[in-house]
Structure 1
Amino acid sequence: MLKKITIQADQRGLLFHKGSYVKKLMPGTYHYIMWSQSSVVVLNIADPFVVAGKDLQLFLHDDNLVQELEIVRVQDHEYMLHYEEGQFIQLLKPGVYAYWNVLKKHTFLHADIRKPELPVEVNRSLLPKLTAYVQGYEIASYESGFLFYDHVLQRELSPGKYYFWRGPVSTVVKTTDVRQLQMDLIGQEIMTEDKVTLRLNFVCQYKIVKPLRALEMKSFDDQIHIQLQLILREYVGNLKLDDLLKKKEDVASFVLSRLREKGEEYGVQFLNAGVKDVILPGEMKDILNTVLLAEKKAQANLITRREETASTRSLLNTAKLMDENQTLFRLKELEFLEKICEKVGSISLTGGGDLLERLSSLIGEKKAASK
Structure 2
Amino acid sequence: MKSLFKMWNTLDIADNERALLFRRNRFELVLKPGRHRVQVMTGGVRIETYDVTDVVFTAAKAKFLLNTHSSILREYLESYELTDYQVGLFYRDGHLVDIIPPGSFRAVWKDVEDVRLDIIDISEAYAIDEKLLGLLGRGAKVGQCKTAVQAISYTEVPDEHVGLLLVNGKFEKLLQPGSYGYWKYNRSVTVKLLDLRLQAIEVSGQEILTKDRVSLRVNLTGSYRVTDPQVVALKLNDYSGFIYRELQLRLREAVGTQALDSLLEDKDSLNLVIADGIRERLAEYGIEMISVGVKDIILPGDMKVILNQVVEAQKESEANLIKRREETQAMRSLHNTAKMMDNNPTLLRLKELEALERITGRIDKISVYGGLDGVLNDLVKLAPRAKSDG
Kindly tell me: are residues 168 and 304 of structure 1, through their superposed partners in 2, closer, same or farther at Cα, counting changes over 3 Å? same
Kindly tell me: are residues 67 and 334 of structure 1, through their superposed partners in 2, closer, same or farther at Cα, counting changes over 3 Å? same
d(CA) in 2 for partners of 1:44, 1:272: 70
Does the CA-based 8 Å contact 1:136-1:163 persist in structure 2? yes
- Name the residue aligned to 1:147: 165
Does the CA-based 8 Å contact 2:228-2:286 persist in structure 1? yes
d(CA) in 2 for partners of 1:267, 1:363: 94
d(CA) in 1 for partners of 2:49, 2:376: 149
Kindly tell me: are residues 20 and 176 of structure 1, through their superposed partners in 2, closer, same or farther at Cα, counting changes over 3 Å? closer
d(CA) in 1 for partners of 2:260, 2:301: 15
What is the CA-CA distance between 1:84 and the residue it aligns to? 1.8
* The one of 64, 72, 92 aligned to 2:80: 72
d(CA) in 2 for partners of 1:214, 1:340: 87
d(CA) in 2 for partners of 1:218, 1:16: 61
Structure 2: give runs of 5+ residues left out of the alignment: 1-6, 381-390
What is the CA-CA distance between 1:224 and the residue it aligns to? 2.5
The two structures, once aligned, show a CA RMSD in angstroms of 4.1
- Name the residue aligned to 1:108: 117
- Superposed CA deviations along residues 136-194 of structure 1, whole A, max 9, x for unmatched, are 445454543211111111222234554444422112222233331213142231331x4
d(CA) in 1 for partners of 2:78, 2:171: 40
Kindly tell me: are residues 225 and 84 of structure 1, through their superposed partners in 2, closer, same or farther at Cα, counting changes over 3 Å? closer
In structure 2, give the amino acid aligned to 1:204.
G
d(CA) in 2 for partners of 1:70, 1:84: 14
Determine if the alignment matches structure 1 residue 361 to structure 2 residue 371.
no
d(CA) in 2 for partners of 1:223, 1:277: 22
Determine if the alignment matches structure 1 residue 56 to structure 2 residue 66.
yes
SS in 2 for 1:318: helix
Determine if the alignment matches structure 1 residue 309 to structure 2 residue 313.
no
- Name the residue aligned to 1:270: 289
What is the CA-CA distance between 1:197 and the residue it aligns to? 4.2
- Name the residue aligned to 2:222: 204
Kindly tell me: are residues 34 and 336 of structure 1, through their superposed partners in 2, closer, same or farther at Cα, counting changes over 3 Å? closer
* The one of 91, 100, 104 aligned to 1:92: 100
Does the CA-based 8 Å contact 1:147-1:171 persist in structure 2? yes
Does the CA-based 8 Å contact 1:45-1:102 persist in structure 2? no
SS in 2 for 1:188: strand
What is the CA-CA distance between 1:69 and the residue it aligns to? 5.2
Alignment of 1:97-176 (within 5 A): 97-114=106-123, 115-119=125-129, 120-121=131-132, 123-124=135-136, 125-127=139-141, 128=143, 129-130=146-147, 131-141=149-159, 143-176=161-194
Q: Bigger shift: 87-96 or 169-178?
A: 87-96
Does the CA-based 8 Å contact 2:89-2:117 persist in structure 1? yes
What is the CA-CA distance between 1:203 and the residue it aligns to? 2.1
Q: Bigger shift: 166-175 or 194-203?
A: 194-203
- Name the residue aligned to 2:3: none
d(CA) in 1 for partners of 2:260, 2:322: 29
- Name the residue aligned to 1:224: 243
Q: Bigger shift: 245-254 or 329-338?
A: 329-338
In structure 2, give the amino acid aligned to 1:294.
A
SS in 1 for 2:377: helix
d(CA) in 1 for partners of 2:252, 2:68: 82
- Superposed CA deviations along residues 235-254 of structure 1, whole A, max 9, x for unmatched, are 33443332332222211012
- Superposed CA deviations along residues 203-229 of structure 1, whole A, max 9, x for unmatched, are 222222223333332443443333323
- Name the residue aligned to 1:367: none
What is the CA-CA distance between 1:10 and the residue it aligns to? 7.8
- Name the residue aligned to 2:317: 298
d(CA) in 1 for partners of 2:169, 2:80: 34
In structure 1, give the amino acid aligned to 2:193.
T
SS in 2 for 1:147: strand
d(CA) in 2 for partners of 1:30, 1:297: 118
Alignment of 1:177-216 (within 5 A): 177-179=195-197, 180-192=199-211, 194-215=212-233, 216=235
* The one of 251, 255, 259 aligned to 1:236: 255
What is the CA-CA distance between 1:87 and the residue it aligns to? 2.6
* Percentage of pairs with the same residue: 32
Kindly tell me: are residues 229 and 14 of structure 1, through their superposed partners in 2, closer, same or farther at Cα, counting changes over 3 Å? closer
Does the CA-based 8 Å contact 1:147-1:173 persist in structure 2? yes
TM-score w.r.t. length of structure 1 = 0.76
Q: Bigger shift: 7-16 or 89-98?
A: 7-16
- Name the residue aligned to 2:367: 348
